[in-house]
């Protein structure tokens, strides 16, 4: 089984790095990062990752807008997206689900559990 490739999108460099460490060390996945919604759109199309972890609150283009753009593009439409968010209210979850989002993972996440949360959400077991 080849290692999964994940794109982590967050404007905060240390959160990018933390997520990268957690996914690479614990699950052995390959992680690339993007600092903004627009960078995410470019990298997602070019790298075709197996999943995208997307921060919701970002300056300029927020997570929801980024998601809609990803969905609008044939090249990125199929890539599953998980929201990484400090706000997970039931109402948010419903809204994400309506949008076709896989799920949301709450921040702060447990560094040792992040990989398994992602795997569970995407049914990679």
The residues binding another protein (CB under 8 A) are 1, 3-4, 12-15, 17-18, 21-22, 24-28, 57, 59, 85-86, 107-112, 115-117, 119-120, 124-125
Q: Whose Cβ is closer to another protein: residue 18's or residue 45's? A: 18
Pick between residue 73 and residue 120 the one whose CB is nearest to another protein. Answer: 120
- Which sign, positive or negative, has the C-alpha torsion 21, 113, 110, 123? positive
Angle between helices 63-72 and 37-47 (to 10 degrees): 30
Q: How far is the CB of 2 from another protein (least distance, A)?
A: 9
The C-alpha atoms of residue 117 and residue 102 are separated, in whole angstroms, by: 12
Measured CA to CA in angstroms, residue 35 lies from 3, 46, 57 at distances of 23, 16, 12
Relative to beta strand 81-85, strand 51-55 is parallel
* Smallest separation, CB 77 to another protein (Å): 26
**CB of 74 vs another protein, minimal distance in Å:** 29
CB-wise, 3 or 97, nearer to another protein? 3
């Amino acid at each position: 089984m080849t290692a999964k490739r994940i794109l982590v999108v967050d404007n905060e460099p240390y959160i990018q790095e933390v997520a990268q460490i957690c996914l690479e060390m614990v699950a052995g996945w390959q992680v690339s990062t993007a600092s903004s919604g627009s960078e995410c759109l470019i990298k997602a199309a070019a790298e075709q990752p197996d999943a995208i972890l997307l921060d919701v609150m970002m300056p300029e283009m927020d997570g929801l807008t980024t998601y809609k753009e990803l969905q609008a593009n044939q090249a990125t439409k199929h890539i599953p997206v998980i929201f990484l968010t400090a706000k997970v209210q039931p109402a948010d979850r419903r809204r994400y689900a309506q949008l076709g989002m896989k799920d949301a993972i709450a921040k702060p996440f447990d560094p040792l559990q992040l990989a398994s949360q992602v795997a569970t959400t995407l049914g990679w077991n």
